[in-house]
């Protein structure tokens, strides 16, 4: 019985060592060394190979190495093969760290101070108390909830929005289309951590920005396709938005002449907010593997209808 791994090859060797030590009954194979496909029961992948059904006829489960699974074409997955997202605690830690950093960067106007330093300009701006800066988390799944809880610890009034209603201590929770308007109106810093689906593609557009308080700021740590790039540029030019922090883009890396590269009010990072770490992800994955082998439900299984 074998597991085929298709993601970052360097981290692949760390996965291999963990399987050899803790689950020797499962042979670890690293793409493109598929070996006998009839033995491959599990796939662990960031981007799956094409023609999954014909290439891996004995496949029983697909595990994503990522929290988001939009890069999988669910219509290509055989009906009986579940897709399971990654719930590595290190991913959550990374997302919480990055969201905290980005919020503080925007809250403390670091984008202005970085520019001022380049211009040898020593000029202070008024300090806004955290209690006066409302943070909104768009997407209150596992990652959004962890971010909301941490940011509220800094003293920011935090609210969150999700498709279906949630309850979270200390966080104002909004849900559904009606809740979205109220939520946006109270988000001075908006953090997108939504899954990418047909319902959320392009959600960060001109219409949404118009519902934020004037001068609000944006953090995107969901997926690049959530954002309409030109609408962000327009909102920054008009002052409707003051600044943005982007870890994901619709094209990664962006073209050399993409306007985001040089924009003074956009901080860009190359999709590094969080990365799955084999050492912390392995116990979660192995637990799910064993559950599957015992015929028990796996944790993090994707609902094909919802797409997340
Ligand atoms: C990274 O983007 C992930 O979805 O885990």
Q: What is the mean pLDDT of residues 3-10?
A: 97
pLDDT at 181: 97
pLDDT at 75: 87
> Of the candidates 174, 97, 188, which has an alpha carbon nearest to the alpha carbon of residue 135?
188
Domains of the chain in start order, with CATH, are: 2-88+276-294 (3.40.50.720), 90-268 (3.40.50.720)
H or E stretch at 208: helix 206-210
H or E stretch at 27: strand 27-30
Q: Is the pLDDT of residue 250 over 90?
A: yes
Q: Is 51 helix (H, G, I), strand (E, B) or coil?
A: coil
> Of the candidates 286, 287, 254, which has an alpha carbon nearest to the alpha carbon of residue 270?
254
- The reply to whether ligand 1 has any atom less than 6 angstroms from the CB of 151 is no
Q: How far is CA 29 from CA 2, 26, 83, 190, 288, in A?
A: 7, 9, 19, 41, 19
Q: What is the mean pLDDT of residues 20-48?
A: 97
Q: How many residues does the chain have?
A: 308
Question: How many degrees, rounded to 5, is the angle at CA 271 between CA 42 and CA 205?
Answer: 110
**How far, in Å, CA of 102 to CA of 94, rounded?**
12
| Neighbouring residues of 119: CB distance < 8 A, sequence distance ≥ 6 | none
Summary count for the chain: helices (H), strands (E): 9, 12
**Bond from prior residue into 288 cis (ω within 30 degrees of 0):** no
Read off the pTM: 0.95
Whether 11 contacts 24, CB under 8 Å: no
b/e sequence 169-188, b meaning 16+ C-beta within 10 Å: eebbbbbeeebbeebbeebb
pLDDT at 285: 98
- The reply to whether ligand 1 has any atom less than 6 angstroms from the CB of 68 is yes
Residue nearest to atom 5 of ligand 1 (CA): 66
Q: What is the mean pLDDT of residues 109-128?
A: 97
Q: What is the mean pLDDT of residues 136-140?
A: 98
Q: What is the mean pLDDT of the chain?
A: 97
Q: What are phi and psi of 27, to 5 degrees?
A: -80, 130
pLDDT, greater one: 78 or 17: 17
Q: What is the mean pLDDT of residues 14-25?
A: 98
Q: How far is CA 265 from CA 72, 152, 201, 238, in A?
A: 33, 25, 23, 13
Q: Is 269 helix (H, G, I), strand (E, B) or coil?
A: coil
pLDDT at 170: 96
Q: What is the mean pLDDT of residues 147-152?
A: 98
How does pLDDT run across 281-302, given as a tens digit for each residue? 999 999 999 999 999 999 999 9
> Would you call 125 a catalytic residue per the annotation?
no
> Of the candidates 95, 116, 92, which has an alpha carbon nearest to the alpha carbon of residue 280?
92
Residue with tokens 């094209």: 251
- Per cent of the chain over pLDDT 90 is 95
- The reply to whether ligand 1 has any atom less than 6 angstroms from the CB of 52 is no
Catalytic residue among 107, 223, 265, 292: 223
pLDDT at 208: 98
- The reply to whether ligand 1 has any atom less than 6 angstroms from the CB of 65 is no
- The reply to whether ligand 1 has any atom less than 6 angstroms from the CB of 69 is no
Judged by average pLDDT, the poorest of 35-44, 143-152, 279-288, 298-307 is: 298-307
> Would you call 258 a catalytic residue per the annotation?
no
CA of 12 to the centre of ligand 1 (A): 17
Name the residue of 48, 66, 225 whose CB sits within 8 Å of the most ligand 1 atoms, as the mutation to test its pocket. Answer: 66
CA of 46 to the centre of ligand 1 (A): 9
Whether 99 contacts 151, CB under 8 Å: yes
- The reply to whether ligand 1 has any atom less than 6 angstroms from the CB of 67 is yes
How does pLDDT run across 48-66, given as a tens digit for each residue? 998 888 999 999 999 999 9
| Neighbouring residues of 123: CB distance < 8 A, sequence distance ≥ 6 | 116
């Amino acid at each position: 019985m074998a597991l085929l791994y298709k993601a970052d090859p360097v981290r692949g060797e760390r996965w291999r060592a963990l399987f050899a030590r803790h689950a020797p009954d499962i042979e670890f194979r690293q793409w493109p060394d598929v070996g006998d496909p009839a033995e491959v029961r599990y796939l662990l992948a960031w981007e799956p190979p094409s023609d999954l059904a014909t290439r891996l006829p004995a496949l029983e489960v697909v595990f994503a190495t990522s929290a988001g699974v939009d890069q999988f074409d669910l219509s290509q997955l055989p009906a009986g093969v579940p897709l399971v997202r990654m719930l590595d605690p290190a991913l959550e830690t990374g997302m919480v760290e990055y969201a905290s950093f980005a919020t503080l960067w925007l809250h403390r106007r670091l984008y202005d101070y970085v520019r001022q330093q380049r211009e040898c300009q020593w000029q202070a701006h008024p300090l806004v108390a955290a209690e006066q800066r409302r943070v909104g988390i768009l997407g209150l799944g596992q990652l959004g909830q962890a971010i909301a809880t941490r940011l509220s610890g800094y003293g920011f009034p935090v609210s969150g929005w999700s498709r279906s209603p949630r309850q979270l201590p200390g966080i104002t929770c909004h849900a559904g289309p009606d809740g979205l308007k109220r939520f946006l109106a109270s988000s001075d810093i908006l953090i997108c951590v939504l899954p990418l689906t047909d319902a959320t593609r392009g959600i960060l557009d001109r219409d949404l920005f118009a519902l934020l308080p004037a001068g609000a700021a944006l953090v995107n740590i969901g997926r690049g396709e959530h954002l309409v790039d030109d609408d962000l540029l327009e909102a920054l030019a008009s002052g409707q938005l003051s600044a943005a922090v982007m870890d994901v883009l619709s094209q990664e890396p962006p073209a050399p002449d993409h306007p985001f590269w040089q924009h003074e009010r956009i901080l860009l990072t190359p999709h590094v907010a969080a990365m799955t770490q084999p050492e912390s992800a392995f116990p979660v994955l192995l637990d799910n593997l064993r559950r599957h082998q015992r015929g028990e439900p796996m944790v993090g299984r994707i609902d094909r209808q919802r797409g997340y």
